[in-house]
Amino acid sequence: MNAPQVFFLPSGAEQRLCIHHAPQGAERARVLYVHPFAEEMNKSRRMAALASRALAQAGCRVLQIDLRGCGDSSADFGDAAWADWQADVRLGLDWLAAQGSTNAPLWLWGLRAGCLLGAADWGLPVNHLFWQPMSSGKLALQQFLRLKLAAEMAGGTSKGLMEQMKSALAAGQPVEVAGYRVGAALATGLEAARLAPAGPAGRVVWLELSTREDATLTPVSEQAIQAWQDAGWRVDAQLLTGPGFWATSEIEEAPALVQATVEALA
């Protein structure tokens, strides 16, 4: 197997760190990975790498990109806006579109809030691979802000904290949560994001994890899947057994998720 290519993709006066996994054999697909929010990105790096390598071995060209202010890309996390991240997705898609076979379909592979970022009209046919998708950015933002709420509860200083953070963001001021400074432009864009179908209809591979073998998709997921199907998209959904690696205290793996991903795309 070829070693992945690590390089910086220019973005104006800045640059974005990228990892390119070249396909083995005939090229079956071109895939852009959009990572999740804040610390979930770091917890998910191993799973993203394992899946990228497996997809490349199966004939998929994969590009992993660190969004603005994330990882080793330019700027600080607190300076990033939702529009910056949308521009980075476009940057990655354009790079992929210029590579390899023009007949190989384009895929946007998102994890958690990364699915929200990819669910847009990109002006060209794009399929979607959703890993543990979040139904709305409002929910994603609330979950993130609650991290600070939980941390302050032990000291008895959590009263009114959620309202204070929301008021600060509404006033255009940043807030700091779990070591991440979140700017108002990023929070506002995230909060407005919805996992809704847009652009030319294609395929959606919807994969979720649960530690319970008897678990089923939630009503929220089923409602969202129905909305994509009603818009003409072909949706293949599966609930697999595995840990929530994006939030576990130790780095964990979900082999069933990688296998299902390769089977669906390749």
Q: Which two tokens stand for residue 153?
A: 């509860």
Tell me the helices (H) and strands (E) count for the chain, helix number first: 9, 10
| Number of Cβ atoms within 10 Å of the Cβ of 176 | 11
Q: Which two tokens stand for residue 129?
A: 């691979």
Instruction: Residue 23: name the closest of 1, 8, 6, 7 by CA.
Output: 1
**Which positions ≥6 away from 125 have C-beta within 8 Å?**
105, 106, 199, 200, 202
Residue 73 to residue 79: CA distance in whole angstroms = 12
Residue 35 to residue 52: CA distance in whole angstroms = 12
Q: Is the pLDDT of residue 147 over 90?
A: no
Report the chain's mean pLDDT, rounded to a whole number: 94
Beta-ladder partners of 60: 29
DSSP conformation class of 13: T
Domain 5-136+195-265 falls under CATH 3.40.50.1820: yes
Residues of the chain within CATH 3.40.50.1820 domain(s) are 5-136+195-265
Q: Is the pLDDT of residue 100 over 90?
A: no
Residue 235 to residue 46: CA distance in whole angstroms = 26
Q: What is the value of pTM for the model shown? A: 0.95
Q: Which two tokens stand for residue 155?
A: 């000291």
Question: What does the pLDDT look like over 53-98, one tens digit per residue?
Answer: 999 999 999 999 999 999 999 999 999 999 999 999 999 999 999 9
Amino acid at 159: K
Question: What does the pLDDT look like over 183-199, one tens digit per residue?
Answer: 999 999 999 999 999 99
What pLDDT score was predicted for residue 266?
Answer: 82
Instruction: Residue 143: name the closest of 240, 38, 66 by CA.
Output: 38
